Each structure stands twice: as structure tokens, then as C-alpha cells.
Structure 1
């Protein structure tokens, strides 16, 4: 059998290629992809904004079914029995547990994380990203069985949107009764809203698109601030203070990917508060910043990339528990066939679509 891969040959240009399906090595798994999403990380690469990535197989948010198990693979990384045909979601990076960062307990910063990420498909085992009919899970890539009550459309976002913000909010130490201000009501912001509400927080969310803010309310947001109405940092900061007894939010989280949001964040957070930045992932982009205000307010900044791999399982269990409470199945506002994947990327890049999802038919793989 052969599988089909969508390859970015240069920024904003995609081609399809076919490769033999690989036999998984010891400790590896071959998945058949059933659904994969366009994440903001893909858009940075697609638009040519990544410092090194200019081509390769994109895609990492996904859900799929086990096609073949490598020798010794009998359970997922939570110890649940696994077999061919089971639905799984997988972390998209390596956690080697042997490098300097892993040995210091910083598993999300593994120095070998991207050994197999988004490579050219000509290099075996070919299926390096989830914009393809199949995906190869290497040894040391954590994967978890999807709970039966979680549909594909929700499970596909567990990695990385839900896992990422779950990890970031845990790192912030947010707790019951705290107020959280979220910058950005995209997929990350919506997931962060649900997680924060389950932690007992009050949520204020800021965005420029009213439809996104309306969706945030369905995910539990207590207050929304539209940038079109509050069109300066000063106005938005005043609005946040008005909602927090003049103090500012206990915790702020940047999920917009806009550099100026980082500058604004410390204006939204109270003295002694915490500010988490996740969305800005493209080096080389700059914004003005007021370090004196940061010092005077004694705000603690936490920058978060990826997540400890077991957060994917926490995310899947969170979905299972809350699947009927929040509209996770309505989060995607654009659904595309695999052959139209470039359209999904282009419409996401132009913001015609907030969250695009690609559905793959069973028959994507073809006989030789």
C-alpha cells in the first residue's frame, strides 16, 4: 500500500506525493489520519515566517486510528491496552528523557524534540506530519487512546491547542477565585477559557472579531472586550481594571501571536500578578516594551513552548468530562477535504477561517 502526503515545497505552495507505507520499527506506531487541524504554528511556516522551516510535511494537531503496531507496543503511554483500529492522539515531538533538559525535568524542552518534525517526505519513514494519509509515531513520542465519548472533531484539538493552554495555566498557578485575562479568542483562547472556568476563575477575553468573542461566551467567558470598541492599550487596560475592582487581572495569558500583545499584557495584570506568553512563536519580531513598569508592578512572566507530554492525556480526559458542557464540536468554523488542504491554509492565513479542520476519507491510501 501507498500513502499520500501533502508537501510544502516553498511557503504558500503545496504539492501531493505518494510513498510506500512503512513498517513501524520496535516501539513505533503507524497511524491512519482521520482528521487534522490547521494550527497557528503551521500558519507561521506557511507564510514564510519561521526562521528555518521553508519546506516539508506540515501538520501536528490530529486524531487517527492505529494501522500497525511496532514490536513491543501493547499499551498507550498511560498503560491502557492498545490494538489496531483504536483511535489515538499523539504528541508531535520527542521526549527522550536523556538530554540535558529532560534530566533537569524540563520535558517540554527536550533537546531532541524536533528530530523527526516536519521533515522532507523523501526521507524515510516519509510521514513526518499529519497533513497526510498516515502519520508515523516514533519511539519516545507519547500517544494516548481517545475516550469513546470524544468525537474526532474535538479530539483533534487536544494536541496541541488544549494541551498547550492547560499546561500554561497550570504553570501560572491560577486558582479558584482568580481573574484571568486572555488575549486572543482563537482556538487557544477558547480552550483556555474552558480550562480556566473549570478551575473556578473569572475570565475576561480580548479579541478584534465579535463572532470569536460570542463563541468565547459559549465557552464560559464572563466578560469580553472588543478591540474595535476599546481601540488603545489604555482603554483596554482601563476596561480590565473596571472589571477587577481597579486592580487588574491576577493572571494574563497571551494567545494571539501578535508581538504588541506582549507589550500590552503587563498593563492588564495587577501588581504581583503573573503573565504567560504562548502565542508569539516567531523569533525576529519585535515590539516596544516598558521594563520599568514590569519591575514596578513586580509581574512574573512565564514563557511557555510545547507542554509536558502527559498533558495530552490530561486534555483528552478533560474533553471526556466536559464534552457536553462546552461546544468543543463547534469550535471549527471551516472543514475541508484533504485535496483542498492548500485552500484551508490560505483561508486560515487570510483569517477568512478561524479554525480549519481537514477530514481524510478512509480511501486516501492506495494500492500499489
Structure 2
């Protein structure tokens, strides 16, 4: 049997290639892709902003069915028994456990994380990304069984957006009673609203698109600030102060990918506040910044790249436990066939749609 993958030859140019389905080696599995999403990371690559990834098989945010189990694979990475046909979600990176960051317990910073990601499809086993009919998961790529009550549309978002903000919020130490400002109501922002709300925070979400802010309310935002109405940083900072008894936010999360958001976030925080930067991942994009204000306020800035892979399991169970509270299955607002990947990428990059999903095997 053969399968198909979407291949970016250079930023903005896409084609498709077919290959015979590989037989997974020991410790590996072959997954049939059910649904895969366009994530902000894909957009950075598609637009040519990624520092190293300029070509290869795209896609990483997905849910799929186990097609073939390699020798020795009997459970997922949480010890749950698995069989052919089970739905799984996988972290999009590996943890080698041998490099310097891994040896320091910082597995989210593994130096070999992208060994198998966005590679040339001519290199076996060919199916290096989730923008295809199948996805090959080598050993050391954590995967987890999807809880039965979690629909495909929700599970597909767990392995990047939700796991990432869950990791950031947990590691930063968001506490009950905190006020958390979420900059951006895209995939990261919506998930962050829900997680922060479940941690007991009061959530304020800032965005410039009305439909996104309406969705943020459904995901737990107590207050929203529209950048069209509050059209300067000063106005938005004043609005946050009014909502926090003049003190400012305890925590602010940059989830936009817009460099200027960092300086604005500093202005939204209280003295002694915490800033979480996750959205800006493309080096070389500069913005003005007020370091004196940061110091005067004694702020702590946290930046997070990837997540500890077991947070994917936490994310799947977060969805399972809160599925009746938040419309995870409605987060995706546009569906495309596999052959329409380029259209999905273009419409996502212009913000014509919030979250694009690709049905790989109709």
C-alpha cells in the first residue's frame, strides 16, 4: 500500500509525494492520520520565518489511529495498553535523554528534539509529518491513547497548543485568585483561557478580532479587550488596571507571535508580576522594549519552547475532564481536504480563519 505526504519545497510552495507505507521498526509505530491542524509553528515555516526549517514534510498537530505496531510496542508512554485501531496523539518531537538539557531534566529543550521532524520525504521512512495520510512515530517520540470521550476535533489540538500553554501555566506557578491576561485569542490563547480558568484565575483576553474574543468568552475569559476599541497600548493598559483594582495583572501570557506584544505585556503587569512568552519563536524579528520599566517593576519573565512530553497526557485528560465546560470540539473553524493544505496555510496566515483542520483520509 502507498500513502501521500504534503511537501514544502521552499517557503510558500507545496507539492505532494507518494511512497510505499513503511513497516515500523522496533519501538516505532505507523499511524493513519485522522485529523491534523494548521498550527502557528507551521505558519512560521510556511512564511519562511523559521531559522532552520525551510523545506520538508509539514504537519505535527494531529490525532490518528494506530495502523501498525512495531516490535515491542504494547503500551503508550503512560503504560496504557494499545492495539491497532486505537486513537493516539503524539508529541511532535523526541527526547533523547542523553544531551545536556535532557541530563539537566529539561527534556523540552532536547538538542535532538527535531531529529525526525520536517525532513525530506525521500529519506525513509518518508512520513515525517502529519500533513499526509500516515505519520511514522519513531522510538522516543511520546504518544498517548486518546480518552474515549474526547472527539477527534478536540484531540487533534492537544499535542501542541493545549500541552504548550498547560506546561507554561503550570511551570510558572499560576495560583488560585491570580489575574491572568492572555494576549491573543488564537489556538494558544483559547486553550490558555481554559487552563488558567481551571487554575482558579480571573482571565482577561486581548485580541483584535471580534469572533475570536467571543470564542475566548466560551473558553473561560471573564473579560475581553478589543484592540479596535482600545486602539493604543496605553488604553489597553488602563483597561487592565481598571479590571484589576489599579494594580495590573499578576500574570501575562504572550501567545500572539507578534514581537511588539512583549513590551505591551510589561505595561500590563503589576509590580512583581510574571510574564510568559510562548508565541514568539522566530529569531531576528525585533521590537522596542523598555528594560527600565521591567526592572522597576521587578518582573520575572519566563519563556517556554516545547513542553515536557508527558504534558500531552495531562492535556488529553484535561479535555476529557472539562469537555462539558468548554467547546473544544468547536475550536476548529474550517476544514480542508489533504489536497488543500496550501489553501489552509494561506487562509490561516492572513487570519481569515482561526484554526484550520485537515481531514487526511476522507
TM-score, normalized by the shorter chain, greater than 0.5: yes
- Deviation of 1:130 after TM superposition, in Å, equals 0.4
Q: Do the aligned partners of 1:172 and 1:251 also contact (CA within 8 Å) in 2?
A: no
Q: 2-side partners of 1:184 and 1:349: how far apart?
A: 14
Query: Aligned runs of 1:145-164 on 2, under 5 Å?
Result: 145-164=145-164
Q: For residues 90-101 of structure 1, what are the structure 2 equivalents within 5 Å?
A: 90-101=90-101
- Written as runs of structure 1 = structure 2, the 5 A alignment for 1:317-356 is 317-356=317-356
Question: Does the 8 Å CA contact 2:260/2:288 hold for their aligned counterparts?
Answer: yes
> The residue matched to 1:51 in structure 2 has which SS?
coil
Retained in 2: the 8 A contact 1:183–1:253?
yes
Gaps of 5+ in 2: none
* 1:76-98 C-alpha deviation (Å, 9 max, x unpaired): 00000011110000001011111
Deviation of residue 100 (structure 1)? 0.8
Aligned to 1:366: none
Look up the match of 1:247: 247
**Corresponding residue SS for 2:205:** strand
Matches within 5 A, 1:180-219: 180-219=180-219
Q: CA deviation at 1:310?
A: 0.2
Aligned to 2:298: 298
Cα distance in 1, alignment partners of residues 38 and 50 from structure 2: 16
SS in 2 for 1:204: strand
What is the aligned partner in structure 2 of residue 16 from structure 1? 16
For 1:231, the equivalent position in structure 2 comes to: 231
2:131–2:360: 8 Å Cα contact kept in structure 1?
A: no
Corresponding residue for residue 67 of structure 1: 67
CA RMSD of aligned residues (A): 0.7
Q: Post-superposition shift, 1:6?
A: 0.7
Aligned ranges 1:274-285 → 2 under 5 Å: 274-285=274-285
After TM superposition, give the deviation of residue 360 of structure 1 in Å: 1.9
**In structure 1, distance between residues paired with 2:106 and 2:124:** 29
Q: Secondary structure at the match of 1:257?
A: coil
Counterpart Cα distance in 2 of 1:323 and 1:175? 22
Aligned to 2:142: 142
Displaced runs of 4 or more, over 4 A:
none
User: What residue number does 1:310 align with?
Assistant: 310
Measured in 1, the distance between the counterparts of 2:92 and 2:138 equals 10
For residues 37-76 of structure 1, what are the structure 2 equivalents within 5 Å? 37-76=37-76
1:185-212 CA distances to partner (integer Å, 9 max, x unpaired)?
A: 0011000000011111000000000110
Q: Alignment partner of 2:260: what SS?
A: helix
State the distance in 1 between where 2:303 and 2:181 align: 16
TM-score w.r.t. length of structure 1: 0.97
Secondary structure of the equivalent of 2:181?
strand
Contact 1:258 1:280 in 2 (8 A): yes
Q: Deviations over 1:200-229 (max 9, x none)?
A: 100000000011001100111000001111
Question: 1:91-140 CA distances to partner (integer Å, 9 max, x unpaired)?
Answer: 01011111110110101001110111100100011011100111011101
Post-superposition shift, 1:361?
A: 2.0
Distance in 2, matches of 1:167 and 1:279, equals 14
CA distance in 2, matches of 1:324, 1:163: 19
What SS does structure 2 have at the residue aligned with 1:259?
Answer: coil
Q: TM-score, normalised by structure 2?
A: 0.99
